[in-house]
Amino acid sequence: MSSAISTYSLLINDASWSSPQARAAGLRAFGVAYLGSADTITNEQFASRLAEKTVRILVPDLLRAIFPAEPRCLAAAARCEHEGAHEAAVEAVEAAAEAATRIRVPAMLEAVWSMGRAEAAVEETARIRGTWDAAVVVLMTVRTATGAQRALLMQKGALTDYYLRLSASLALEVLRELNSPGAAYVT
């Protein structure tokens, strides 16, 4: 398996799922789909496709859920959908940080801090692996899901699981598009 797929699978597996059962259900199809991918999928293929899907789909959904009345966040969400690029994801982080600081909701600040911390951690990983775009976006969203949903509503488990499942389904789409041998066994 490519190091990008391996890193992603470790991050999403270690994320704050509501229960081991939720983790197993959320990752089952992805786990089967990445079988045999080591010889067929490069880091760059997986990383760039997953980054774009995450920026276009997951990040806008998350921004709109956390900051539904913040114009800069809504604009950043629209930019993410339209561009699907790293720069749009960075703008999303900056818009969320500004809104959380202005609103002064401690849990939102925690969520945005998690986004920034994740981005810094991935910058180091990316220098080694060359997977900057996907790593930043994927780690940002996986790590942010817990804090952001805790900030939004007290239904942490179900909503965190929603974003983690969404991330895993986007990764599954990428594996299917890249014809990972294991994807043939996922219905």
Tens-place pLDDT, residues 106-161: 555 455 445 444 444 444 444 444 444 444 444 455 444 444 444 444 344 566 78
**What's the CA gap between 181 and 36, in Å, rounded?**
5
With 70 as the cut, is the pLDDT of residue 80 above it?
A: yes
Structure tokens at 95: 């818009």
List the one residue out of 51, 71, 76, 68 whose CA is nearest residue 141.
51
pLDDT at residue 126 in the model: 47
* Residue 51 host element (H or E): helix 43-53
SS3 content of the chain, % helix, strand, coil (to 5): 85, 0, 15
**What's the CA gap between 80 and 100, in Å, rounded?**
19
Backbone angles phi, psi at 58, to 5 degrees: -75, -45
Given pLDDT bands bounded at 50, 70 and 90, which one contains residue 52? confident
7-21, 66-80, 146-160: least confident range: 146-160
Number of domains in the chain: 1
Given pLDDT bands bounded at 50, 70 and 90, which one contains residue 75? very high
Angle of helix 3-14 relative to helix 106-129, nearest 10 degrees, comes to: 160
Domain of 116, in residue numbers = 3-185
Asked whether the CA dihedral 174, 149, 162, 10 is positive or negative, the reply is: positive
Model's pTM, two decimal places? 0.75
Count the Cβ atoms, other than its own, within 10 Å of residue 16. Answer: 17
